[in-house]
Amino acid sequence: MTNIMCLDHSQSRAVEAYPQDAAAFATKTMHKIPSLEVFEAHSFRRQQTAFCVLTLFVLGLLLLLHTFFHSLLGEPSISVIVILGIGFSLKFLEIVWLQGRTDEIGEKTAKRETFLSVAMIFILAGWLAVLTDRDDNPYFVLLAIPILQCAYYCGLKSTAVTIAASITMMFWWTEHFFALHPPRRPTEYLETGMISIIYVLIGILVWLLVHQLKQQQSRLYESMATLHATREQLVDEEKLAAVGRLASGIAHEIRNPVAMISSSLATAANSNLGEADREEMIQIAAREASRLGQLTTEFLTYARPVAPQLSSVLVNDLLSYTVDAVKAHAAGRSVEVSYACSEDLTIQVDSAQVQGALLNLVLNAIDSSYSPGAIALEAAQKDGQVQINVQNTGEPIADADLPRIFEPFYSAKPGGTGLGLPIARRVAEVHGGDLWVSSNQKGCVAFSMTLSAISTENRNETSRKEL
């Protein structure tokens, strides 16, 4: 048994001959671009969860600081701990609610959720201020969170209202505290004013940054939408161009047989022609008619492939049948054909379609191989697929031909229809695999075909989608 050790199986595709049709490839990889509103609805859950986690962190940190500095702030009372526990629990439940939503959160729901979250923090901060009853209340730090939320989600007006509400609460509490515990200390009003300035700067700065980011995001989405529309237009144009190339190829391939048939029949109808010459003209017309019929059959096979009828097949049997079928043709060119495959390797395929594709590959290999030469078929399971390699000892495919060998009606072989390789690749594709040139060097040219080893039920679903 002759084995051609020229294909590196560690590389799944050493040489990519020609990608699938550009229009089909672009259509498969194209994704619909969601609107900006849909994208923001997608991101709201994640962003709001981040604010909830931030609130939980601040609540825990404030309780820790209150406990650590109890000599200055006093021991945290049971009421303070209970209120902090309630706030902690509500924020945790909010996280659970956000993560448990299976549907998308709409704009109204998002606004309502933001309003309730902001209102809850204001109530929490005010309640904790009353319970701690101190002029330098540390729990007003919580008011920075609703300012950040409004600056992030809402417009400038809502952000300004939230900032004003925070400042009003802090000054009201300072006035209320000194009304109950005189005398007033100007330093506390100064401290409250400085905190208010910080809140204003934080709110305005964050709003400006988010506003600019949203403007850039909006321009980006407009550019993506334009690109998407342009790509769809290019795909449509490529489809029309492909149809034009196909029609041109059909016309070119049909013109010659029709011309030969017409010329032969016209010559045979000449009364001055001898019987032997007339018989020769009729035979020429018959051969061209047969070639035209074969061309039509191959074109229909390529253009309208039949859904595969799957059954469990031994890959060894597929290779053995192929080798036996080409034995006579190979012997005429002094080419030895061998195969190697595990005897128990099975796959769910349409044996007739796969055998036809393999015969086409092997016959091409025989015609391209040196004389004397050798051809080796190898099959093995890899990554859930069966890969079959057809290797021959011949001249490499020319660089000019390599990108086009899978194009319909393109053939570098005299008398070829240019449909054999496209049909073979189509067979591989409807079986969940592909066909490509995996090695292209002098004395070692190899085609590799993969066939998916998935179950029959899943394969039928794949076939319906492809067809």
Share of the chain above pLDDT 90, in %: 26
Look at residue 90 and tell me whether its pLDDT is greater than 70: yes
Given this model, what pLDDT does residue 143 score?
A: 93
Lowest mean pLDDT across 281-285, 341-345, 424-428, 431-435: 281-285
412 band by pLDDT with thresholds 50, 70 and 90: low
Residues 288-336 pLDDT 10s? 787 777 667 666 666 666 677 888 999 999 999 888 888 888 888 899 9
Residues 91-102 pLDDT 10s? 999 888 888 876
Lowest mean pLDDT across 15-19, 69-73, 172-176, 231-235: 15-19
Given this model, what pLDDT does residue 301 score?
A: 64
Look at residue 36 and tell me whether its pLDDT is greater than 50: no
Look at residue 35 and tell me whether its pLDDT is greater than 70: no
Lowest mean pLDDT across 226-230, 367-371, 455-459: 455-459
What mean pLDDT comes out for the span 13-18? Answer: 42
Name the residue with higher pLDDT: 165 or 12.
165
Given this model, what pLDDT does residue 458 score?
A: 45
Given this model, what pLDDT does residue 224 score?
A: 84
Q: What are the residue ranges spanned by the domains of the chain?
A: 36-228, 308-466
Task: Spell out the residues 6+ positions from residue 359 whose beta carbon is closer than 8 angstroms to its own.
Answer: 322, 325, 326
What mean pLDDT comes out for the span 6-27? Answer: 43
Given this model, what pLDDT does residue 9 score?
A: 41
What mean pLDDT comes out for the span 224-249? Answer: 74
Name the residue with higher pLDDT: 67 or 34.
67
What are residue 52's phi and psi, to 5 degrees? Answer: -65, -45
What mean pLDDT comes out for the span 12-33? Answer: 42
Mean pLDDT, all residues of the chain: 80
Residues 37-67 pLDDT 10s? 544 556 778 888 899 999 999 999 999 998 9
Name the residue with higher pLDDT: 158 or 32.
158
What mean pLDDT comes out for the span 225-236? Answer: 82
Given this model, what pLDDT does residue 21 score?
A: 43
Q: CATH topology for 308-466? A: Heat Shock Protein 90 (3.30.565)
